[in-house]
A and B are shown apart, each in its own frame.
Chain A
């Protein structure tokens, strides 16, 4: 029985404005939860509360589906009520400055310790010099110096006395000292010396020699005396410094009495200050200057080592941190040690350690886009290393890759306790899941965002609130009921299902914004259905240049599509083309040929490698259907060819298999096919028609071609019955259908499609499986039987000729 055309109300499920209880969206309450994402929200809730390692989250869903906003809202809510995380600071390691120490402090205490240390150093810079300038200190220092002087002087005086007793004086020579005999205050000249008696000369020589030895002995003792004096000065300095430092540090210690790590640090500070007390005194100008600039970080900044580098300060935070890292480079994730360029050299210290997103998000949540993370060199590896190790190790890429061997800092790793939330599309999730074993261990929770939500009365009400929230957030004009209804209808169209509404928030926001734009252009205070439709039309208009070119080619006859008359073995199929975000339908001519053969159906698209795997599968199913339906106990003795005429690109999908079946039967039995119809749908081996995608665009594509030539009233499209629920056709198509100028038929079997396309009965098989003779199936079965007989004859004739030859 030939199906009847679908009524207009089945072609478009309009939104009933009268069901709305509001006048404009201003009357609606804001919606704080994501609509229809209960599954994803449950997963997120589970992930963030699951304390064990590896329960990080991957939030799946297409871009623009509102994942980021939803996740942020959930995390912000969750984080707010939780205790603030600890502060982290890096301080100098006085035992090994290459390995700065990490201090964990209660929130707010990091900044306080920094201030306390700054204050301490300021105080010491004043009080230490004052102490060392004091008369007490100077007199004690002088005592030590005097003691040394006295020791030396006594030794030298004794030597002097001895020299004078033997008539010898000490002279300063260009390189040292020398003893010389004197007479009347003057050194004896060589002539006078030579005139002296021999024993006197010997006495003088011996005396000078003895004095020289004694002077040498004294000179050798002096360094030991000096060392002893230096030791005493050092001890004095330590005691004096301790007097100041101890009392000031005791004040600081009181604040951190219950923080052993800080007390330990302060103890190290105290020791270092005592050992390096000179750093707190006015320094002479460093001679190592160039162009007036200090060379080396120590210049004027030796006290930097007492700085507290507050890496993370949660003094003013509220709850746990929720960090969004938009640029997840390796360094931005794990932190880095910066350097200062000084006279061509790069220098650094612990004060130049900078935190990464992991530091900032520690004990909280870190949100990142997975695609951005993956395209940054080593960022993914760096993140995994930190998560696996449970600590943040600040290393440069150069260190990791062993590219540099220069000495640099090795900051103490910071323990890591963070929930990482990756946002990305499904393909990346499944690729990572398949190829990266670490991913499975580290991201155990998948929160899969729905693409659409059911179009039910309760959901509709929430959907309107969601639209109202978007409108307010983006400061758009309010939408009236007609505007909201039209947006929702378009939401169903975007979902590709009259009983669904899209959850792709970005598309909706775009439409709302553009409708708002239209309304403002018209100087309206409220956005209505007209403006929404105008915005939709404008979107299409901006994107449909290629579609227009394709339809123009059909209209001009360059691409051959008949929309009237009948042709055997020729069927109008329908395909969809997606260019960016724009999808449109395009009619295609499918033709078939049939001849005596061995049952093989040749897919020409496949033969020339223009057919995809799914298309090939469709053709093979078709062959199987033919064999199942008409083969019976005999082999199929025909060969057939199928082709998309004037198709020069890739063809994929099985949505043309109904059309191909009809073309094949027509070719087999020579019954003509109506060209004012187009057909879409896939078929299974038993002849059942199955749903396909893009049904709205396909119908509209054939409608546009027919409309351009003038609607005749008998034109229309045959679609799978299962696709009726997806129909959200354009208003002009629906109007044409309502006026009887265009039709849409829904079929469940290929027989129904055959009957619509040929106007003849397909025929039902009797109990023996035989079709009525004049039905399409009966004709097909008879033709196949004829071909089988013909093949037998050919086969027998061939054998006879072979025997004759023998």
Chain B
């Protein structure tokens, strides 16, 4: 398996990383820059400005609830434009810093529209997509927001920080082999353990996959844990990722039917960055 994988890694020339306007995203950005440097690939940072926000700002009664003060303030087109420009500038600087530290050629693009639509439109142009938490449902967004404000997180005792592994879904497919190699790089880059997720059935197939993966890992001198999926649905993958406190999920393009709704659903349910390998 090693020879074809090396060939596949060498083929990666363009890495796309989505820039989360509301998250810190620095770790994901650094990891993306590290992978791009390792693969000698170009890094593209993509910021998608939400078209819904632009429309909202133009509505006469639009008001914004400040997450820190609970106060409401009127929204307007000019202010929204100004705030979005500040976001873009900040993210551009972050990208420049991360790429500059690893001496990676980089580009920064800003588009306006819907995140999933924009990603699906550009997916074929890139070998690797690193997607931050770009789409979350209402309830999760609110939960995260109230958790982050005023440092009001429930005090998880120090030391009780679950180790967040880099998880990779592995099938016997070319894209998933590349995904495994990418996950190993990501784990090394972010100094996190590697977890290989295999289908639970049928047993014979699983044993063969285990053998393949273990042989390759030995060759790479890489340690890893295995986890098993009884149900290969997007919901089951998301649940496993949450349970294992996944720090990132690497998926081959051919693992799921990641069309618009599928990708959207996966992104909504994940709480960690998603890396798509073409």
Contacts and interface: CB of A to CB of B under 8 A. Distances in A.
B254 interface: no
Contacts of B80: 173-174
A174 B141 CA distance: 13
A212 B72 contact: yes
Contact of B66 (A176, A188, A193, A229): A176
Contacts of A152: 142-143, 146
Contacts of B62: 178, 180
26 contacts: A137-B160, A145-B154, A152-B146, A173-B53, A173-B80, A173-B83, A174-B80, A174-B84, A175-B64, A176-B65, A178-B64, A178-B75, A181-B59, A186-B51, A187-B56, A188-B55, A190-B58, A190-B60, A193-B59, A205-B61, A222-B152, A226-B153, A234-B155, A237-B157, A278-B157, A281-B157
A123 interface: no
A208 B61 contact: yes
Contacts of B68: 176
A160 B139 contact: yes
A283 B80 CA distance: 41
A132 B159 contact: yes
Residue from B50, B52, B150, B155 with most neighbouring chain A CB atoms (10 Å) = B52
Residue from B62, B73, B84, B156 with most neighbouring chain A CB atoms (10 Å) = B62
Interface stretch (A25-33, A213-221, A291-299, A388-396): A213-221
Interface residues of B, number: 46
Interface in B126-158: 136, 138-139, 141-143, 145-146, 150, 152-158
A278 B67 contact: no
Contacts, number: 149
Contacts of B145: 172, 176-177
Given A178-B75, A223-B150, A283 B55 contact: no
B55 A153 contact: no
Nearest to B86: A174
A216 B139 contact: no
Chain A contact residues: over half helix, strand or loop, or mixed? helix
Given A141-B160, A233-B157, A175 B83 contact: yes
B160 A138 contact: yes
A413 B21 CA distance: 61
B167 to A, nearest CB: 19
Contact of B157 (A149, A176, A222, A277): A277
A190 B55 contact: yes
A33 B43 CA distance: 94
Given A141-B157, A152-B142, A152-B146, 17 more contacts: A153-B143, A156-B143, A170-B141, A172-B141, A177-B65, A177-B141, A186-B55, A187-B51, A190-B59, A208-B63, A209-B61, A219-B65, A222-B152, A233-B154, A233-B157, A282-B159, A283-B158
B70 interface: yes
A171 B157 contact: no
A133 interface: yes
Interface residues of A, number: 58
A171 B154 contact: no
A188 B65 contact: no
Contacts of B156: 141, 145, 233
Contacts of B70: 216, 219-220
Contacts of B143: 149, 152-153, 156
Nearest to B52: A187
B54 to A, nearest CB: 9
A230 B153 CA distance: 9
B97 interface: no
Interface of A: 129, 132-133, 137-138, 141, 144-145, 148-149, 152-153, 156-157, 159-160, 163, 169-178, 180-181, 186-190, 193, 204-205, 208-209, 212, 215-216, 219-220, 222-223, 226, 229-230, 233-234, 237, 277-278, 281-284
A149 B53 CA distance: 27
A354 B124 CA distance: 73
A129 B52 CA distance: 47
Nearest to B160: A132
A214 to B, nearest CB: 11
Contact of A180 (B55, B139, B157, B159): B55
B55 to A, nearest CB: 4
A64 B58 CA distance: 104
Nearest to B143: A152
B265 to A, nearest CB: 14
A177 B159 contact: no
Given A171-B52, A187-B52, A187-B55, A178 B63 contact: yes
A156 B142 CA distance: 7
A159 B155 CA distance: 27
B142 A170 contact: yes
Interface string B26-61: 000000000000000000000000111101101111
Contacts of A129: 159
Nearest to B58: A190
A231 B61 CA distance: 40
A178 B56 contact: yes
Instruction: List the 5 closest pairs (A to B, CB-CB), nearest first.
Output: A281-B159, A174-B83, A190-B58, A187-B52, A278-B158
B164 to A, nearest CB: 14
A209 B59 CA distance: 13
Contacts of A219: 65, 67, 70, 146
B65 A174 contact: no
A251 B157 CA distance: 27
Contact of B67 (A175, A220, A283): A175
A156 B53 contact: no
B97 to A, nearest CB: 19
B190 interface: no
B150 to A, nearest CB: 7
Interface in B72-103: 72-73, 75, 80, 83-84, 86-87
A799 to B, nearest CB: 120
A342 to B, nearest CB: 23
Interface string B180-202: 00000000000000000000000
Contact of A186 (B21, B52, B59): B52
